[in-house]
Homo-oligomer: A and B are copies of this chain.
Amino acid sequence: MSLACASCPVRDSAACSVLTEEEREALSAAGRTRVLKRGEMLFAAGDEDAACATLVSGALKVSTVDADGNENILALVHPAGFIGELFAPFAHHDVTALTESTLCTFAKVDIQRAVDEYPALAKALLRRSQEDLHATRSLLELTAHASAETRLASVLHDFGQAASQSPCHPAKHFDLPLTRGELANMLGLTIETVSRKLGELEEAGAILRTGKRGIELVDPAHLQALSARKVV
């Protein structure tokens, strides 16, 4: 299946948006769109021919499994995000779909060639990489020094922002893309702690849980206040 850049929802925000029409067309000839169902992997740690990809819709997680077989979620990927370690001989992490996701995939060599051929693409990928770095450091700051309650409040606030169209106000209602277990894992907590703290946040009137995954932000300001609070 060939790529349909013309109707691509992230055509103006993905890395390839910096290319000219012609360049984009040439690149798209090398790629193919792919749909992953929840739980399907784009590639696994250790894969030598790990693909590169731009996420068009859905959500992915980046994770490792440690020596004892425990998963370890390191990052989430949102639409327009780019996945791919261009300079590593093999993938360091697993990349898995959290929800049904459509991607625009490329063989690593094709992206490497494109980076050499289109300097603007290299610059765009550099920008994305620095944004990823910043996001990872924010999560690091959270897990290293914040209380369980703060970690949850912060992540809920972020999800609200991500689910919203407008950058200023978070969406009032959204579905968590993660199970409790995944949420706990990503924040360095346990399922039980996540469940309890969500209960407390609901108790306090900050949020409302609807069904398993639904979250309503009743008092975003309260969440934001908690996010800002350090661990005592």
Q: 1/0 per position for A171-204, CB-CB distance to B under 8 A?
A: 0000000000000001110000000000000000
Q: Give CA–CA (A66, B144) in the complex, Å.
A: 12
Residue interface mask A127-151, B partner, CB < 8 A = 1 = 1011111101101110111000000
Contact A188 B137 (CB under 8 A): no
Q: Which of B119, B126, B145 contacts A66 (CB 8 A)?
A: B145
Query: Is A141 a contact of B74 with CB atoms below 8 Å?
Result: yes
Say whether A168 faces chain B, with CB atoms less than 8 Å apart: no
Shortest Cβ gap from A147 to chain B (Å): 12
Task: Knowing A127-B87, A130-B129, A133-B133, say if A187 contacts B144 (CB, 8 Å).
Answer: yes
Q: Report if A72 contacts B (CB, 8 A).
A: yes
| Complex: A85 Cα to B131 Cα, angstroms | 9
Chain B neighbourhood of A88, CB < 8 A: 130, 134
Give Cα distance in the complex from A88 to B137, angstroms.
Answer: 15
Interface string of A203-224 (1 = CB under 8 A from B): 0000000000000000000000
A6 beta carbon closer than 8 Å to chain B: no
Given A126-B125, A230-B66, also A145-B188 (CB < 8 A): yes
Cβ–Cβ contact B133 & A70, under 8 A: no
Residue from the list B75, B116, B145 in contact with A123, Cβ < 8 A: B116
